A and B are shown apart, each in its own frame.
Chain A
Amino acid sequence: MGSFTLTHERPDCFYDRFERKSELQHQTHYCPGCGHGIVHKLLAEAIDGLGVQDRTILVSPVGCSVFGYYYFDVGNVQAAHGRAPAVATALKRSLPDKIVVAYQGDGDLGAIGTAEIVHAANRGEAITVIFVNNGIYGMTGGQMAPTTPLGKKTATTPFGRDALNEGYPLHICELLASLEAPVFLERVGLGNNKQIMGAAKVLRKAMENQVKGLGFSLVEVLSPCPTIWKMDPVEAQRFVREEMAAVFGIGNYRDRTATATPRPARPAPPKLEELPGILGLGNGDRDRLPCGETSAVDYRIRVAGFGGQGVLMLGEVLAEAGLDAGYHVSWLPSYGPEMRSGTSNCHVRLSSRPIDSPLVSQPNVLLALNEPSLHKFLPGVEPGGIVLYNGDAIPEGCGRGDVRMVALPFTRIADQIGVSKAANIVILGALLEATDLVENEQATAALHKLVKSPKWFDIDVQAMERGREEMRKTTMPVSDDYLWGV
């Protein structure tokens, strides 16, 4: 007779008493013959064996194992149905040197949480997932699971699972094995002691992978559910061994532990005082002079044109320059599909007083880069306002005697300096010439801030100057009477 040791001790990382229920605190809440108790013990032994009890966080699911935290004396987080991989993802990313275990059943992982497990696996999250597959919904009382074998009668497949109606049992290991990122995928069974001994080794390996800092590991455990299957524990084990294993092949589906490299450690975080610089704050800004009480200015500007004409950028230059000039400013774009095709417009306000509404419904400056914009926004222009239109002449029927209207072929002027896309900045120059909106220097500084490429900056400075020149050539008197403050 061989010598062997009988062990009746609990793993250290189990609690001494299970407080799940007020009575019978020496035993679990699981039914006699249920696989969860075995899997819990194998997991606990792996945690003990690796000496990681103090570093381990267990994410328990919705299902029979929702109360995992009554047994495991480790950090515990209970997750919403199916979401354990998402919860575990953030735990692991937040605490990269901790051991994060997601424990899930077949409904949790294979049905409602399919997206979460696939994507956590695909990102190669460096977590360990224990997937207990018993082919049935236990906690809710025996409904079909995604892993229920064909033909099996359940509470929701009273005629037996029919592939035409319910599809086929979902093979999670095989599914995840189609992904590049997982390091370790293996299916084990609890069909007899030999299988259980094998499962112990695999579970330990899946945990060890994480201790080594390797990527995603998952162990699928074919597990008995005698109560719902309406079998005695022995018969249930036979069912696992013979019928479940016939549908779900026991074995390894991915083992890259020999070649996988640990995830690199995150670089050290920056110092606190470096943060503003990282966020692009507070560097290189000039002190701004508050504008005086007397300079009551209220520019309400609407810029409009086709998408791609630089409408939003022109508005942004105005706002940036206005801020530099000491005004209160706001910039509000039309956004979304309009940015990608069709028309584009934005609302810009420069005011010597705090801005109430950033929406400009009655502009006193309209910059119309195309004809539809002129038609659309001209009626709203306030009497006495100014309109700059990108064209040779104001189109027929668009005349208004109570506003100053200037038509100049801005795009053609931009063409002359070789870049038709700079038409928006030619308009900017014209506007600056026609009004005392901001100083040239402030507009140039704004361009400098917004235009990263030196080449484009030079072109824009040139375009702005051409705009001023062309505006000077117009015969209209230049006066600020058209604009006033409130």
Chain B
Amino acid sequence: MLNSILEGVIAFMLIAGGAFAFIGSLGLTHLKDFYMRLHGPSKTTTLGVGCTLVGSSLYFSLNDGPIVQELLITIFVFITAPVSAHMLAKSALHHKLKPDPRTRGNPVELESEKPKHSVEEAPQGKSPLP
């Protein structure tokens, strides 16, 4: 009885993980500009991979005792995905990728660049020394 309930939970975890990862990759393919595309993989795919790893951990602890080794990968993925998304956003801002007009927000890095301090031209012609 308990095993059949646990099998149902494992099957749900596997299918939910696959569905989340597929939706994330669909967003990566279909959204308009880079700042929108960053949402899909960094949130949804992380959740999908986490669901699959938890399901695998439950499956291997079905027969002989609890096994928490897969949770190690889950924790690692949950820690590192925001860091890599942050670095990707920084590099996209550094390259000044064009945002879609529907993308909200107006970061300083993407404003049209006008030199704030124009370099003062050195006086020419009249050098103090002869």
Chains A and B belong together in one complex = no
Q: Interface on B for A, CB 8 Å cutoff?
A: none
Which A residues are closer than 8 A to B by beta carbons? none
